Amino acid sequence: MNNSLIYMINNGASSVLANGVIPLTTIARRRGKCIQNDSNSIILNAPGYYKVNVTVTLSAAAAGSVSIALQKNGVTVPGMTGATTITTANTENRQVIISGVVRVNCYEGAAALTLVNTGIAITTSNVSIDVEYLD
């Protein structure tokens, strides 16, 4: 059994433009060699299935729709998006939660996971992503 996992956080304020990548700045925990990090990406080094849990706490300077997508190699993973609506600018804190399983096929090689803000510009106050290799 492989116990590879990574838990990354960003609990500082980060401004993220529309279609921008959400920063993942700190490794809180990491074990094994199947999962690594590279700047704002999490690198999946082995074929198989990975359980992913994401929580993003955010606010926005304008009212509108916020959508967060988990992308694998630049493509949104089906079912791995979350959304919320800001109705009053600069006063609301919202939370977006994404959870699911990502597959890396044998022929793909390493795969990069990123969190992308596909809605209006936001400011994150807490971001966490937990990735565990299932096999």
pLDDT in tens, 13-39: 999 999 999 999 899 999 988 899 987
Q: Indicate whether 109 pLDDT > 90.
A: no
C-beta pairs of 75-80 under 8 Å, 24+ apart in sequence: 76/116, 76/118, 77/102, 80/52
CA 9 vs CA 1, 24, 61, 76, 91: distances in Å:
26, 6, 23, 21, 23
Query: Which residue is it, tokens 């059994």?
Result: 1
What is the pLDDT at residue 1? 46
pLDDT in tens, 33-74: 889 998 799 999 999 999 999 999 999 999 999 999 999 999
Question: Residue 129: which CATH number?
Answer: 2.60.120.40
Specify the number of domains making up the chain. Answer: 1
Percent of the chain clearing pLDDT 90 (strictly above) = 83
The residue that leads in pLDDT, 1 or 47, is 47
> Is the separation of the CB atoms in 35 and 6 below 8 Å?
yes
Q: Mean of the pLDDT values across residues 113-118?
A: 96
Q: Mean of the pLDDT values across residues 85-108?
A: 93
Tokens representing 12 are: 């500082």
Q: What is the pTM of this model?
A: 0.92
